[in-house]
Amino acid sequence: MERKYIAYIIIPLIVSIILLMVNLYLGLIVLVISIALGMSIFIMQDSGFHPELVAKLTDDSKGVVIRNRGNSTARHIHVSIVPLNIEFDVPDLDEESVYTFDINAMISTAKAVVNYENKKGETFSKIYPLSALGTDDDDLLKPMFPLFKWK
């Protein structure tokens, strides 16, 4: 953790200890605020460097769209389309970037296995069902960025 984040946690704790000696309620208020600040800093640390790739078919089912919905660059991306025996590599995708791989034939149903890694070198692997008649993978209740290793 960086020094400035440690200072953001330690200084309010010292102020709350001093205020506890002066006024109990005021000290407890500052203590609760400092705990909330510390929790938000830890959540911010946990949510960094998480690329999230999503694979789906194009509207005409003649291609596969790979989109990075995370908050970090995805590197070394390898996609396998099963059972069609199609494999391809994708260049690095920044946040909210899209890559489209065109296929000569239409795909009715298949499965995309996506392997990638983040800037730190952590590897991720996800499997996405691809269907021409399927629904979209956008979940309205899903958080904007992955928290606490949310899957």
CATH number assigned to the domain covering 53-131: 2.60.40.2890
Q: What is the pLDDT along the chain (151 residues), one digit of tens a residue?
A: 678 888 888 888 888 889 989 899 998 998 999 899 888 888 877 777 788 889 998 888 888 999 998 888 899 999 999 988 899 999 988 888 899 999 888 888 899 999 999 888 889 899 989 888 866 666 666 666 666 655 5
Residue 136 phi, psi (nearest 5): -75, 155
* Residue for token pair 């694979």: 55
Of 98, 93, 102, nearest to 124 by C-alpha is 93
Domain ranges within the chain, ordered by starting residue: 3-46, 53-131
Tell me what pLDDT residue 60 has.
86
Nearest by Cα to 58 from 113, 134, 145: 134
Flag whether the pTM goes above 0.75.
no
